[in-house]
Structure 1
Amino acid sequence: MARRVTLRDVAKDAGVSVTTASLVLNKRHSRLSEETRRLVFEAAERLKYVPNQSARSLVTKNTMLVTLIVPDIENLFFASLARCLEEECQQQGYSLIIANSDDSRETEHALIGQIVARGVDGVFLIPARESFGRLDELQADVASIACPVTLLDRMVTGGWCDGVGFDNRHGGSLAAQCLIDAGHTRIGCIAGEGNANRRRQGFVDTLAAAGISLDPRLDVVGNYRFDSGFAAAYAMAQAGATAVFCCNDLMAAGMLRRLGELGLRVPEDMSIIGYDNILARFGMPIEVTTVEQHVESLAAESWRMLYARILEHAGDDDARPWLSEPQTKLLEPRLINRGTVKVLRGCRQGEE
C-alpha cells in the first residue's frame, strides 16, 4: 500500500518549514510572500497531498461535517433535496452525512443522540411526522445539540428554532384557485400529516372563500406514496369528482396510473394537480400540473442560514442564536400548468 503523503513531505519538497506549509495550505493569515505560497501549493499538487481531516479537526475544532436527518430517503423530494444540499455543502468544503428517521420519533431521538456524540459542525433536521404531535420532545432533543441546527421543509418551529421551508398554505391555495378558475366545484383532495395538512388547509380555505365545500367522501388522507394515490382514485371517480388535488406528485402519479386502468382520461374525465414538481428530476415521463417547491432554492437558502450560524458559533461556543434568536424563512411556491386541468365549458380560466 502506498504511503500517505504528509504535510512534512510537502514542506520538504517546497523547501519550507512544516509550520509555513501548514499556514499556506490552511489559508491562515500570515506575511508569507506570494512566491512561498506558490511553492507550497505547487508541491502539494505535485505530490497529490490530501489533508488529514481528523488531524485538522483536533486543531480547528471543526469536523467539516454536516448531518441531514431525513424522514424518508425513498421519497423523491427528500432524495432530491439531499443531493442539492450535498452540492451546497461541498462548495464550502463540507461533507454531508445523511441519516434516515423513517418518520419515527424514537429513531429521530436516537439519531440526534448519535449526532451529539459525533460532534458535527451543523445539523439539518426534517422532523419526523410523529414529532408533530410530540413537539416538546423534539425541542428538548434539538436543545441538546451543541452545534447549529436548521429545521428544514417541515415547518414545526413555532419560532423556537431556525427554519427554512415553503409556504404550504399558499401552495394549497394556488391549487384551489387553479381549479376554481377552471370552473370545477366537485373537487377532491388527497392530503396527509405535516406539510400536506397545511396544503389541504390552504386549499380548503380558498374553496370556502369561493363558496365551494369539500365533500367528506372526497377528502382522503394519504401517505405521500404512490400507493395512496392509486388506492384513492376509484373512490374519487365513484363519488363524482371532476378534479383532485394530490398533496404531492407521487400520490398524483398513483392516481394517474389507476385512472388509466379504469379507462378514465386526464383531463377529459378528471383533472389532476400534484405538488412538488419532482417527477421529471428522476426521469419519470409523467406530465402533471403541479405546485412547484424549487428544491435548489430550498437547499441554497437552508445552507446559507446554517453556514452563517456555523461561522458565528465558531467565535462563541456558549451562544446558541439559532434557539435564542431564531430565524424563519418561508419561500414562495408556484403553479406549473402542464395541461392536466380541464377548463369546463362556459368558464375561461384565469378570468377575474
Structure 2
Amino acid sequence: MGGRTTIRDVAAEAGVSVTAVSLVLNNRPSRVSEERRRIILETAERLHYVPNQVARTLVTQRSMMLALVVPDIQNLFFAALAKRVEDECRQAGYSLIIANNSDSRAAESDIMRRLSARGVDGIFLIAAGESCVDVDDLRSDVAECRCPVLFVDRLVDLDWIDGVGINNRAGGRMAAQFLLECGHRRIACISGDIRVGNAYERREGFIQALCDADGITPVIVAEGDYRFEGGYDAADSVLDSDATAVFCCNDLMAMGLMRRMHERGMNVPDDMSVIGYDGIAERFGFDNPLTTVGQKIGWLAHETVKLMLERIEQDKESEPRHVILPPELIRRGTVRII
C-alpha cells in the first residue's frame, strides 16, 4: 500500500464501511460493535493511519493546536515551562506552537493576531513586560482573538481573564523568613523589573517579611532583568555592601551573581549566602546546588492546560477563573547559618 494511508484503506482492510471507520476514529456515537471497533482501531494502528487534520478541523471546528507565547525562550524557566506545557498538551491530543515575543508589546500583538488567524484553539500568554504596565492594548488584542486566552505566570489585572500562576508574594516572604531563621539580618535583594507583576510581588513579599521582623530593611535593593547578565551586573553593588545574604528574584540572576563572586575569589555561602527563585538551576545541570524558592513547574503546566481545556470544551462564557499555586522552599547548599 503506497503513499499516505487513507480512511478508505483502513475500511477496506478491516472489511467495514468508511462511515464506520470515521465514527470510531473520531470517537463519535455509533452502533458499531465492540468487536468491530477493536478491529478498526487495530487496523488503523497497523497501517499507521494518521488523520487528515484539515478535514477533521472542518468537521469538529477545532484545529487541535494550542499556542504558548513567552517573553524569552532563552530564559531557562520559560524553556522548562514550555517543555512541560507541551507534554501536557500532547497527552490531551493537542499540538503546541511556541512563539517568542522578545518581551515586546508590538511583537506580542502581532503574534496574537497571527495565531488567532491560524485557527489555534487557545493561547497561553506570558505577557510582555510592557503589557504588564499598560493592560488596555493587551486587553483589546485578547478581545479580538477568536479563541480563549489564558495568562500564565505573569498575572496581570485578572478581573477579566483566566490565569494560572504562583503566589509570588508568598514566595518572597518564604525567602526572607528562611534567611532570618538562619540568622541573617543584613540582607540584600536583586529584583526583576518591578513593572512586571511577579517581580514586584516577589520583592514586596520579601521586603514586608523583613519589615515584620523588628523593622529590618534590606541593605540594598538592586534591580536586575531576570537574565544571567542582570545578576552579574548587579553583583558588585551587593558584594561591596555589608550584606551577609542576598535574595535573587530568579535563579538566572543568582547564577550571574555567583559567577561574579567566583571571579572576585569569593565563596558561596562562606562570603555570601544566596537564595534564588524558580527552581531551575539543578534541572539544567548547574554545579552549585542553589537554595531557591521552587515554582513547581510540572504542577503549573498541568493546571494551565487543564484550565484551558475546560474553557475550550465545557464553558466558554463563564466568569474568569484563576488558579494560584503555592511555592516551595528548596534547601540546598548556598545559605549558611550564622
Letter in 2 for 1:23: L
- TM-superposed deviation, 1:57: 0.6
Match of 1:4 in 2: 4
Matching of residues 302-317 of structure 1 within 5 Å: 302-312=304-314
Match of 1:267 in 2: 269
Letter in 2 for 1:58: L
Match of 1:152 in 2: 152
Extract structure 1 runs of 4+ deviating beyond 3 A: none
Secondary structure of the equivalent of 1:297? helix
- TM-superposed deviation, 1:2: 4.4
Cα RMSD between the aligned structures? 1.3
Secondary structure of the equivalent of 1:159? helix
Where does structure 2 lack aligned partners over 5 or more consecutive residues? Answer: none
TM-score of the superposition, structure 1-length normalised?
Answer: 0.92
1:188–1:236 CA contact under 8 A, matched in 2 = yes
In the aligned structure 2, how far is the partner of 1:46 from the partner of 1:332?
A: 45
Letter in 1 for 2:83: R
Letter in 2 for 1:327: R
1:151–1:157 CA contact under 8 A, matched in 2 = no
The match for 2:279 among 272, 277, 280 is: 277
How much identity, in percent, do the aligned residues show? Answer: 54
The match for 1:199 among 197, 202, 206 is: 202
Letter in 2 for 1:90: R
Match of 1:208 in 2: 211
Secondary structure of the equivalent of 2:329? strand
1:157–1:163 CA contact under 8 A, matched in 2 = no
- TM-superposed deviation, 1:109: 0.4
1:126–1:154 CA contact under 8 A, matched in 2 = yes
The answer to whether 1:343 aligns with 2:332 is no
Match of 1:32 in 2: 32
Secondary structure of the equivalent of 2:74? coil
Match of 1:316 in 2: none
TM-score of the superposition, structure 2-length normalised?
Answer: 0.96
2:282–2:290 CA contact under 8 A, matched in 1 = no
Greater RCO, CA 8 A, separation 6+: 1
The answer to whether 1:250 aligns with 2:244 is no
> Are the structure 2 counterparts of residues 320 and 143 from structure 1 closer, same or farther at C-alpha, using a change threshold of 3 Å?
farther
Letter in 1 for 2:3: R
Match of 1:13 in 2: 13
Q: Deviations over 1:16-75 (max 9, x none)?
A: 111111011111111111122122122212221111111111111110000001111000
Letter in 2 for 1:266: V
In the aligned structure 1, how far is the partner of 2:252 from the partner of 2:2?
A: 48
Matching of residues 3-82 of structure 1 within 5 Å: 3-82=3-82
Q: Deviations over 1:103-133 (max 9, x none)?
A: 0000000011112211111110110111011
Where does structure 1 lack aligned partners over 5 or more consecutive residues? Answer: 314-318, 345-352
The match for 2:223 among 184, 207, 221 is: 221
The answer to whether 1:329 aligns with 2:323 is yes
